[in-house]
Structure 1
Amino acid sequence: MEIATAVEYLKLLANETRLKLLGILASRERSVGELAEIVALKEPTISHHLAKLHEAGLVQMRADGNTHFYRLAGETLQQLSRELFTPERMVTFGGRDEADAYDRKVLGTFLDGDERLTKIPDVRKKRDVVLRWLVERFEPGRRYPEPELNEIIKHHHPDTATLRRELIGTRLMARENGVYWRLPEPSA
């Protein structure tokens, strides 16, 4: 689901009357007349809101002569929730530009002009940005003996032990018998 579609659904649901109608219809099917009485609005107003909810697939309508009965389309609401509110989907809504801007700002704060760390950040979120930057200094698939790894890290900061532990702890690198390698990035 694209962000524009998500915004349309959220706008649709950001109306108090529509939310009340969905809540009422969650318990059982109701006619337009019943709904008008319950929420104390005129039938044409209720019909207008129901038409919008029906168009979005959130309610289903059944005609019985001249009377229209509505019920909640629970499966559509559940599908919408699954599509909108997963962490993976939320990340795409944030856009890559904003995340990149944050990373650039953090790196600008903690790196000097020679790509040396002025300080290892204390804040975890900022430290993770620096560690993701640092791991890029290592080739994927290549194995690094600890002395070689230390030399590369020393180009950027003298505390090789802390940075080695952090790279392992954040699962950006792995270690076995004094040999280190870069782990593949987790897929989103």
Structure 2
Amino acid sequence: MTAQALAGALADDVRRQVFAAIVLGGADAPAVAGRTGLSARQVVTAIRRLVDAGLVTGGDRDLRVDADRLREAARTPSVPRPADDPTDRVLRTFVSDGRLTGLPAQRGRRRVVLAHVAKSFEPGVRYPERAVDEVLRHWCERGGCDHAALRRYLVDEQLMAREQGVYWRIGD
């Protein structure tokens, strides 16, 4: 049994109450029903599911928590999560549904967000200022920043270049 399976087995309120009653000494379905105030049908269904999950042993009588199985679940390593990429973390913080929720004050983080915004423009394609503003207004719809300031940041960070009111993305 994995920790995830354990959590799934105890995710239901009724099963959790029944499990707790068994832990506290409820040895059969009527005793568990008496301790929990649940109907006999709810108790029997929950006991059956807890037995199927391997958390409880015994049939209708002599119900016990399978402590060995619980220890095993606690010691079984869960599937490791991939390392949290700092770039993803910054983007999750400042970008939501394709809109900026704000601009980071820290330059390194701001550069990550700006590089993400710059991908809205194709490399090598020249854009008039009006077209750039239209794209950047979309990013700023939630009030996370001003589109003109965003345009200036993109140029200042050399993610876009500007000449006589025409802009293009620099780099890849």
TM-score range, shorter chain: 0.3 to 0.5
Q: Which has the higher contact order (CA 8 A, sep 6+)?
A: 2
Structure holding more helix per residue: 1
Normalising by structure 1, we get a TM-score of 0.44
**Larger Cα Rg: Structure 1 or Structure 2?**
2
